[in-house]
């Protein structure tokens, strides 16, 4: 029986060794699988980073394109507004010149009408102009005289002597 017990022991030892070898092989397989997964993850991470970089570059390119388009639109609008302003300024200046021309024509007509009226009343236009210039030079004296005549006219006797009853 001793032999049988010894054989049983050997049998159990060889089973334990086989199980241990299987465990070692299993650990090696798990390590190989883990390494393979790490490599795949690293590759996928690199692909993801490259994709994100590509998207970022496309977004920046799109942003620059849109910015350029907006700048062109603003430039075009500005040019149109400046053109419109120039046109309106020209119209305003033209209208202003026209108003001035009409005013000068009106002044000429009025001067002519005045000359005709003064001539009709027997006055010479040159004499009236000369007299008005003299009056302008003596303006301060005329103002004083006007004030004296106004102050003198406030009395009741000055009216009664000049106006017939």
Q: Are 52 and 44 in contact (CB under 8 A)?
A: no
Task: Give the C-alpha separation, 91 to 97, whole Å.
Answer: 10
Count of other CB atoms within 10 angstroms of residue 128: 14
pLDDT tens readout for residues 37-79: 999 999 999 999 999 999 999 999 999 999 999 999 999 999 9
Check residue 24 and give its pLDDT: 65
Average of per-residue pLDDT across 23-44: 84
Check residue 153 and give its pLDDT: 46
Check residue 165 and give its pLDDT: 45
Check residue 164 and give its pLDDT: 47
pLDDT at 152 over 80: no
Greater pLDDT, 143 or 116: 116
Check residue 62 and give its pLDDT: 97
Check residue 31 and give its pLDDT: 80
pLDDT at 149 over 70: no
């Amino acid at each position: 029986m001793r032999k049988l017990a010894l054989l049983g022991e050997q049998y159990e030892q060889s089973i334990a060794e086989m199980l241990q070898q299987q465990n070692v092989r299993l650990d090696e397989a798990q390590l190989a699988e883990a390494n393979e997964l790490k490599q795949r993850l690293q590759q996928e991470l690199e692909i993801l980073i490259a994709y994100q970089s590509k998207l970022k570059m496309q977004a920046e390119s799109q942003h620059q394109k849109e910015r350029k388009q907006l700048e062109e639109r603003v430039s075009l609008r500005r040019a149109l507004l400046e053109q419109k302003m120039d046109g309106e300024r020209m119209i305003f200046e033209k209208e202003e010149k026209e108003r001035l021309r009409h005013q000068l024509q009106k002044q000429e007509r009025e001067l002519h009408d005045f000359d005709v009226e003064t001539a009709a009343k027997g006055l010479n236009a040159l004499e009236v102009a000369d007299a008005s210039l003299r009056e302008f030079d003596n303006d301060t004296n005329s103002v004083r005289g006007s004030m004296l005549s106004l102050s003198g006219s406030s009395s009741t006797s000055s009216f009664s002597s000049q106006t017939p009853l």
